[in-house]
Amino acid sequence: MRSAVPKATRETVRVGDVPAALANASKKLEARYDFPFQSHATMGPGCAVADVRMDALTTVWSGAQKPHALQKAVAELLGRPVDKVRVVWVEDAGSYGRPGFEDAVADAVLLSQAVGRPVRLQWMRGDMTAWGTKGPAVVCDMVAALDTQGEVTALEFVSRAFSGNEIAAQPASAGNLLAAQFIGIPNTSGTDEFADWGVRSPAYSFRNLHAVAHVVPSFFDTTSPLRSTHLRDPEGPATSFAVESFIDEVAAAAGADPIDLRLKHIDERRAKAALTAVAETARWDRRPSPKKQAVGGDVVTGRGVALSTRNGTYVGTIAEVEVNRRSGAVRVTRLVCSHDCGLIVNPEALTRTIEGNLIQSMSRALKEEVTFDRSHVTSVDWTSYPVVRSSDIPTQVDVVLLNHPELPPGGAGEPSSRATAAAIANAIFDATGARVRQAPLTPARVKAALAAI
């Protein structure tokens, strides 16, 4: 992936002269951040019922997230007019983007057509985790320049990622479905979706800023168990993990408090307010990282911050952690989130949504990673693909809602999942002085980072 020739490239930002600033830098920082393929890991695998009637109305029952698009794909698969296909949505066990429920529908439809009877098809846990679509892997390279006073004079961001829309989140064509690909129907609806700066990460105002995003080719054109698509907040957690971790590295190199450095390079009033609010709620201890720890003892504590923006929503996240230096184990003891999505209509529902985002993104930050060999996905159950359990939940989760009745409502379903991984990684650095640049932040990776100090 790191050496693959990109199939598409987009320059998303060019401000000033980054090469000149880097050439004249008193100090230059460079870092690479890796974010893995991840599964949607819904609690229930895909299930569908199909009653195919080629001389009448075909009916499908499914928990697919986009039933209106699925109707078109099923019609194409059967060679029938769209108005001869009915999709009945039924409640299912989560979704988080495009997990593979639609693929179970395709299986059921083809089997019902073959036997001439209604068919209920149930994917099992191993089927879903192995063959369900994946959130794309992303590699981000970051470079920053500092002058003799520790001021940031330039920043460069380069991402290499699998498309977040290789398998379209809107499955409106038959070739977008796994079973259709297996019988030779090509996938023509996927597009190149970039893990880019600005759209996917906070727009800091540096004098010199350059950002480029590359999409690399998929491993297989069709029928791949690593088909990539939207996973909750597409590419957002991956790019924010890189950008917000690196901003913390820049702050440490400059000897600055992580929040103070961010505030210095943000022009947007609402972004500044979100950072200020989360700092006040968490009673942020203003100082540079890492924290000076007492001599002796295996367990150390730290705090980390990250900022995220998306579609007019501004989110500040602070994580407080305990790190066992002997085992590398990380426990998140507290999460604090400030959330400004404009006009708030239902505060209680918004708070619950944010809490769910924080816990799911904490799971992705600490535990979740798709593993595979040359022929199979090997993380196929809750042992090989673990997620957080009730015992892992932080002791305290605080949500601060910043209401703006004078503004239209923004999005709230996903932005608060964006910054969690970076906030936790920054807290680990604050506690230990060790920087973990590869997600998930497993005990083995924490131990390796500690050994490298």
Q: pLDDT, tens digit, for every residue of 259-285?
A: 999 999 999 999 999 999 999 999 999
- Under the banding of pLDDT at 50, 70 and 90, the label for residue 220 is confident
Does the pLDDT at position 172 exceed 90? yes
Does the pLDDT at position 368 exceed 80? yes
Question: For the segment 36-55, what is each residue's pLDDT rounded down to a tens digit?
Answer: 999 999 999 999 999 999 99
d(CA 221, CA 352): 39
Give the pLDDT score at 295.
81
Q: Are 135 and 414 in contact (CB under 8 A)?
A: no
d(CA 305, CA 247): 10
What is the mean pLDDT of the segment spanning 213-223? 90
d(CA 270, CA 340): 8
Q: What is the dihedral of CA 240, 245, 249, 252, to 10 degrees?
A: 110
Give the pLDDT score at 3.
87
Q: Name 306's bridge partners.
A: 317
What is the mean pLDDT of the segment spanning 130-134? 95
Give the pLDDT score at 435.
99
What is the mean pLDDT of the segment spanning 386-397? 98
Query: Burial letters for 249-268: b for 16+ Cβ neighbours within 10 Å, e otherwise?
Result: bbbbbbebbbbebbeebbee
Q: Are 360 and 417 in contact (CB under 8 A)?
A: yes
Q: 315 φ, ψ to 5°? A: -135, 130
Q: Are 236 and 420 in contact (CB under 8 A)?
A: no
Mean pLDDT, the chain, integer? 96
**Edge-to-edge order in the sheet of strand 58-62:** 85-89, 58-62, 47-51, 119-122
pTM score, two decimals?
Answer: 0.97
d(CA 400, CA 397): 10
- Under the banding of pLDDT at 50, 70 and 90, the label for residue 441 is very high
| Amino acid symbol at 271 | A
Q: Is 448 exposed, middle or buried (0-12, 13-18, 19+ CB in 10 A)?
A: middle
Give the pLDDT score at 450.
98
Q: What is the dihedral of CA 351, 353, 354, 356, to 10 degrees?
A: 120
CB atoms within 10 A of CB 19: 13
Three-state secondary structure call for residue 313: strand
* Angle CA 160–166–171, to nearest 5: 155
Does the pLDDT at position 203 exceed 80? no
d(CA 323, CA 346): 37
Q: Are 147 and 254 in contact (CB under 8 A)?
A: no
Does the pLDDT at position 198 exceed 80? no
Question: For the segment 373-388, what is each residue's pLDDT rounded down to a tens digit?
Answer: 998 999 999 999 999 9
CB atoms within 10 A of CB 80: 16
Give the pLDDT score at 95.
86
Does the pLDDT at position 431 exceed 80? yes
CB proximity list for 83: less than 8 A, separation 6 or greater: none
CB atoms within 10 A of CB 375: 7
Give the pLDDT score at 104.
96
Does the pLDDT at position 200 exceed 80? no
d(CA 2, CA 418): 23
Does the pLDDT at position 199 exceed 90? no
Three-state secondary structure call for residue 78: helix
| Nearest by Cα to 180 from 98, 276, 75 | 75
What is the mean pLDDT of the segment spanning 396-410? 97
- Under the banding of pLDDT at 50, 70 and 90, the label for residue 426 is very high
Q: Are 133 and 40 in contact (CB under 8 A)?
A: yes
Going from the N-terminus, what domains does the chain have, and what CATH number goes with each?
8-40+134-170+188-216 (3.30.365.10), 47-131 (3.30.365.10), 256-451 (3.30.365.10)
State the DSSP H helix or E strand holding residue 282, giving kind and residue range, or none if neither: helix 269-282
Question: For the segment 282-313, what is each residue's pLDDT rounded down to a tens digit?
Answer: 999 999 999 998 888 899 999 999 999 998 99
Does the pLDDT at position 14 exceed 80? yes
Question: Cis ω on the peptide bond leading into residue 440 (within 30° of 0)?
Answer: yes
Q: Are 317 and 336 in contact (CB under 8 A)?
A: yes
Question: Cis ω on the peptide bond leading into residue 290 (within 30° of 0)?
Answer: yes
d(CA 60, CA 74): 9
Give the pLDDT score at 219.
85
Question: For the segment 328-349, what is each residue's pLDDT rounded down to a tens digit?
Answer: 999 999 999 999 999 999 999 9
Question: For the segment 63-94, what is each residue's pLDDT rounded down to a tens digit?
Answer: 999 999 999 999 999 999 999 999 999 998 88
Give the pLDDT score at 395.
98
Q: Name 29's bridge partners.
A: 144
Q: How many helices and strands, by DSSP H and E, does the chain display?
A: 11, 15
